[in-house]
Amino acid sequence: MDASLKETEYDVLLVGTGMVEGILAGALARIGKKVLHLDQNDYYGSNYASFPLAQFLRWMKNENIAPRNFGDEESGQVQVEKKVEETPAVDGNKQRVLPMKNSFECRLLEENFADEATKEELLRQSSSFSIDVNPRLMLSSEQLVEILITSGVGRYLEFAAIERTYVHFQPAVSGAKTGETAEPDTVWEVPCSKKDVFQSKLLGMVEKRQLMKFLQFVADYGETHILHEDVKTKNERTLALGRALKRPQNKASQADGDAELEKYLDRPFQELLEKHFKLSSKLQQVVVYCVGLASFPATKNQISAREGLEAVYRYVASIGRFTGTAFLAPLYGISELAQSFCRLSAVYGGIYVLRAPIDGFVLDTETNELLGVRCSDGDVLRTKHVVTNGSYVDNLRLTSSGKPRHTHGQILRGVFVLKSSLREGMSRLMLVIPPEDSEFQNPFAIQVIQLDVGAYACPKGYFLVQISMPLPTEWFNQAEKQQSLVQAVIRRLTLSSEAELQQKQGTAKVEPTPKQTSDDNAVEAATTDSSWSDRIAWRAIFTMDHLASSDAKLIDASSKAKDLPANAWVCETSMAEFDGVADPVEPQKPSGNAASPLEIHLESASANARAIFEALCPGEPFLPKSASAEQAEQEEQESEEDAVLRAAQKLAQQTELAKDKQVGQPTATAAGGSVAANETKDVSVDGLNTA
């Protein structure tokens, strides 16, 4: 470690370069704080890292992506254990070193290539892959997108649009006729825009009208109750696809139903959809899991109506903002997004050290505050506050209750490289399987993301498919059950893809429908059918820690767990005492699910960063506008004013020409002149409004 780094006391020292830490580092450096950002790895991203294929294989085996060169790892751990005991400090206070060990790791269940030739081909193109450890997408309307634009961080990034969202339904649910083919197409497009709704083959006519009415309500509800805009006088600023949902006749009637709606807002979201909007069971699943992006079964009351409406509005408002769909995928993987905020921090004076030789947190036992972090040579990097990645939270516990802690949940992951797309003609897509599907018996919603070479996720001719589902605690040690579920999902999706292609070609390939199997032989049954597995070039199934903050908006000194140091802030973990997840409708009643919801977007990550920032720097602006953003906004405003002025000048000229014509034609009647004047006035008013 550079000796000059040890001579400064930093305002904030961050350990880990995950999404929340990166956003926070950029925000702190932006207001002039002294920031030192460390990572024991030699890559950015931590739990949001993105790897080429060869490095991803090593990460799954918990191998160092690049070996450290600052000493033997094993002897370093022994040294830490020896220094854990309290020792007198130079200033007379007592200090204790809390060992620094990253708990984030992969538990590999299965990994293999189709054959040796395929292995050689894919590894030869390893650098063409960008495989996310934690696959995420961005909603076009989420807060982080605004931050990217106003802070100037977006200059470092490029995005690709997700072309379509799909949902998996069994034939009995979707309305398809059973017996047509042995393996029917169970994947359906999720209708969101007005055009999608009326072209949907998933919904009947009554359901289409119900869904349109609901989406129109949500669009207006979002403006009045979330954005707090006066929709009766608000000028429609965009011509996005969502504008069709903002009709004046809908806005006028919304106030009448506010009183009726109010009694549902703190009740379960499903109750609002079923009793107030009279949506069918199928529509409820589409709204809750594909549009609202919920993870838990709605019947478990895991989301309130107020939260559900906010989630649906966030999705609806995203459609048409940049593209015709709601989601964006960062090119080269999600780690590019985390790294871009680290670049912002560096521009404003933040100092970065990867492969940092640090091995412990130094605690002042009299004040219960961290003095800093210890280097492998024994020196201490001093700081006023420490912010760490969630994987270090167990290192910072000051007391032990003797009971096992479930600080983090677990997430089941499947990563596949396919030789063809899951849907004909689609390169980038998202797919949702609602909870408690009759075929999969999945306890929570399963989210599937497919990316292609256009997102720089894999080589040309291949498709990268990522499957994710949070695990309930009773599934933690059931490897066969976990493996069986992922195998069944990829099998079903590939067979549905084949059925779609056969339907388009007018052919039907009849195969016997597999019977329901037990957990013991489900994996074998799923892998014996080669008709679908031939499309898989490489596969991997594993579990890993699920770092997520269940109280991202409530982080302050009073809500932090009592057994954490006073000046320590842990990202993406429950900062409050963990007693289980509370029911949103009945907070006094535990839900029984120790899992955190699986968010496909980054709304909670940005909220988590903002909450910690406001606790550290109350009253300071969070990632204020950059000079270039302010200049661009001013230029846009001036451009609009110029456009209005030019339109007014043009209309004035047209008026003068009309008067000249009237003077040159004395035979024109007074009535004719009156009509001409009225027509000119109408055009003038309309022209100004349009401009």
For residue range 593-652, what is the model confidence (pLDDT) as tens digits? Answer: 456 778 899 999 999 999 999 999 999 999 998 766 555 555 555 566 677 777 777 778
Average pLDDT over residues 510-530: 45
170 neighbors 437 (Cβ within 8 angstroms) = yes
Amino acid at the residue 494: T
422 neighbors 429 (Cβ within 8 angstroms) = yes
From the CB of residue 330, how many other CB atoms can be counted at a distance below 10 Å?
24
Residue 530 has pLDDT above 80, yes or no: no
For 436, left (φ over 0), alpha (ψ -120 to 50), or beta?
left
H/E run at residue 591: none
549 neighbors 608 (Cβ within 8 angstroms) = yes
- Going from the C-alpha of 247 to that of each of 194, 213, 220, 322, 332, the distances in angstroms are 12, 11, 9, 21, 39
From the CB of residue 205, how many other CB atoms can be counted at a distance below 10 Å?
8
pLDDT of residue 64: 77
pLDDT digits (tens, 9 = 90+) for 319-328: 989 988 999 9
**Considering only CA atoms, which of 282, 175, 276, 281 is closest in space to residue 218?**
276
Q: Tokens 């979201």 map to which residue? A: 269
How many whole angstroms separate alpha carbon 494 and alpha carbon 418? 9
From the CB of residue 87, how many other CB atoms can be counted at a distance below 10 Å?
10
Residue 288 has pLDDT above 90, yes or no: yes
Residue 257 has pLDDT above 70, yes or no: no
Domains of the chain from N-terminus onward: 3-52+63-104+332-407+548-625 (3.50.50.60), 105-128+164-190+411-546 (3.30.519), 193-318 (1.10.405.10), 630-690 (no CATH)
Following DSSP, what letter does each residue of 592-628 receive, concatenated?
A: S--PPP--SSSHHHHHHHHHHHHHHSTTS-SSPPPHH
State what percent of residues in the chain have pLDDT above 70. 72
Average pLDDT, whole number, for the chain? 79
pTM of the model: 0.81
Residue 400 tokens read as 């032990």
Average pLDDT over residues 529-547: 87
